[in-house]
């Protein structure tokens, strides 16, 4: 049976959640947690696939003229879904890469970005483009969107300060709300609350400061804590995540949500750093939290 396999890294937003939708920068990096897929001829003659997969095939057909409806996508997982790690963008990217292999075609990163971004519109409505950018281009990036114009700047190299910093991702629980719902909730609040608009500006300023530091191969980790407090003021962090963050801070760690967040249940993944890795590891073990040790970029 003919098959092709492809994978795509996930991503974390280090700073810039929600403010990136309003024309401010985001600092984002890829992580070595992968969404992997196998594209194959189906075992059964007739198959039914999710609407998201059907849409990926339509996007590919529109771009390259090749019909893929007789193929099946098998998701090998690995990258947590619905937790702020860009899983839908990484899945789309992996599927497109496998289709290119299958049909012996090639595409530029710009073309891949456009296809992944189109798939993200299907999934999330009006995404900023940060997830599509991060999974396609990889590494450590400064992302900026002004209206429909996108600017991408690569930051650092193999020796960048973030790549040399050990982080944990700790699961606070999958959000009940979708990314689209969280973005719309912030938009509604900004329209009626000047404080929320000011908080977004402060997140943008903090993100700019972090980007400047990274360019100088520096990283003030306490800025992550400041970022988290702003996100809490914005109203995108649930009580469960707040409680976990407080417990992490009690052992000297700093933590923030990474992604759109959630308030009704979990808030997705927490990005966590601690100088005392042993204390942090012991807390994770004690609380039986699901976690991943990662580097960024």
Claim to verify: residue 70 and residue 183 sit in the same structural domain: no
pLDDT score of 164: 81
Count up the domains in the chain and report the number.
Answer: 2
**Are residue 10 and residue 151 in the same domain, yes or no?**
yes
**Mean pLDDT of all residues belonging to the chain:** 92
- Tokens 């995404």, residue located: 127
Is 218 within a domain? Answer: yes
Contact between residue 37 and residue 94 where contact means Cβ atoms under 8 Å apart: yes
Place of tokens 């995108």: 236
Strands (E), 174-268: 254-257
pLDDT at 70 over 90: no
Domain of residue 172: give its range: 167-294
Based on the fold, state whether residues 150 and 171 are members of the same structural domain: no
**Structure confidence by residue, pLDDT tens digits, 92-144:** 999 999 999 999 999 999 999 999 999 999 888 778 899 999 999 999 999 99
CATH of the domain at 125: 3.30.230.10
Examine residue 287 and state whether it is found in any structural domain, yes or no: yes
Partners of residue 3 on adjacent β-strands = 40
Rg (CA), the chain: 19
pLDDT of residue 85: 94
The 10s digit of each residue's pLDDT in 180-238 is: 899 999 999 999 999 999 999 999 999 999 999 999 989 999 999 999 999 999 999 99
Q: Reply yes or no on whether the pLDDT at 240 is more than 70.
A: yes
Q: Cβ distance 120 to 89 under 8 Å?
A: yes
Q: 149 and 185, same structural domain?
A: no
Cβ atoms 40, 149 nearer than 8 A: no
Please indicate, yes or no, whether residues 143 and 247 belong to a single structural domain of this protein: no
Q: How confident is the model at residue 179 (pLDDT cuts 50, 70, 90)?
A: confident
**According to the model, what pLDDT value does residue 123 have?**
83
Q: Are 139 and 35 in a shared domain? A: yes
Q: Indicate which CATH number applies to the domain containing 187.
A: 3.30.70.890
Are both 147 and 282 inside the same structural domain?
no
Structure confidence by residue, pLDDT tens digits, 38-53:
999 876 655 667 899 9
> Could you tell me where the beta strands, DSSP code E, fall in the chain?
3-15, 26-40, 72-78, 140-146, 149-155, 167-171, 254-257, 269-273, 291-294
Domain boundary among 155, 180, 211: 155
Question: Rounded to an integer, what distance in angstroms lies between the CA atom of residue 129 and that of residue 151?
Answer: 10
Alpha-carbon span 250 to 232, nearest angstrom? 18
Q: How far apart are CA 8 and CA 284, in angstroms?
A: 27
**pLDDT at position 44:** 63
Domain assignment present for residue 251? The answer is: yes
173 and 147 in a single domain? The answer is: no
Q: Are residues 12 and 143 in the same domain?
A: yes
In a domain, 161, yes or no: no
Least confident residue range of 131-135, 159-163, 169-173:
159-163
Confirm whether 162 is domain-assigned: no
Q: Quickly list H helices, 71-193.
A: 87-102, 109-124, 130-137, 179-192
One domain, residues 94 and 186: no
Q: What percent of the chain has pLDDT over 70?
A: 97
CB 94 within 8 Å of CB 6? yes
Domain contains 172: yes
Question: 127 with 96, same domain?
Answer: yes
pLDDT on residue 148? 79
In a domain, 160, yes or no: no
Domain termination site, one of 126, 155, 184:
155
Choose the final residue of a domain: 100, 127, 155: 155
- Residues 105 and 126 placed together within one structural domain of the fold: yes
List Cβ<8 Å contacts ≥24 apart for 189-194: 189/234, 189/235, 190/22
Question: DSSP states of 190-240 as a string?
Answer: HHH-HHHHHHHHHHHHHHHHHHHHHHTT---THHHHHHHHHHHHHT-B-HH
């Amino acid at each position: 049976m003919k098959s092709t396999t492809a994978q795509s890294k996930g991503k974390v937003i280090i700073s810039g959640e929600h403010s990136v939708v309003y024309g401010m920068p985001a600092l984002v990096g890829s992580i070595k947690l992968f969404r992997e897929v196998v594209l194959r001829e189906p075992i059964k003659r007739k198959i039914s696939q999710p609407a998201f997969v059907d849409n990926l095939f339509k996007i590919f057909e529109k771009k390259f003229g090749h019909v893929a409806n007789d193929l099946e996508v098998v998701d090998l997982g690995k990258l947590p879904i619905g937790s702020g790690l860009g899983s839908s963008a990484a899945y789309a990217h992996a599927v497109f890469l496998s289709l290119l292999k299958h049909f012996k075609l090639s595409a530029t990163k710009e073309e891949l970005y456009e296809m992944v971004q189109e798939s993200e519109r299907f999934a999330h409505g009006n995404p900023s483009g940060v997830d599509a950018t991060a999974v396609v281009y990889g590494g450590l990036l400064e992302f900026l969107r002004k209206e429909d114009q996108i600017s991408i700047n690569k930051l650092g190299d193999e020796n960048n300060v973030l790549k040399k910093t050990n982080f944990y991702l700790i699961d606070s629980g999958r959000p009940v709300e979708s990314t689209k719902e969280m973005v719309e909730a912030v938009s509604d609040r900004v329209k009626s609350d000047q404080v929320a608009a000011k908080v977004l500006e402060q997140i943008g300023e903090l993100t700019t400061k972090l980007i400047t530091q990274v360019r100088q191969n520096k990283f003030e980790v306490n800025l992550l804590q400041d970022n988290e407090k702003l996100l809490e003021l914005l109203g995108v962090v649930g009580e469960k995540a707040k409680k976990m963050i407080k417990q992490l801070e009690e052992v000297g760690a700093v933590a923030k949500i990474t992604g759109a967040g959630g308030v009704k249940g979990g808030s997705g993944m927490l990005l966590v750093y601690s100088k005392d890795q042993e204390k942090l590891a012991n807390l994770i073990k004690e609380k039986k939290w699901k976690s991943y040790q990662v580097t960024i970029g």
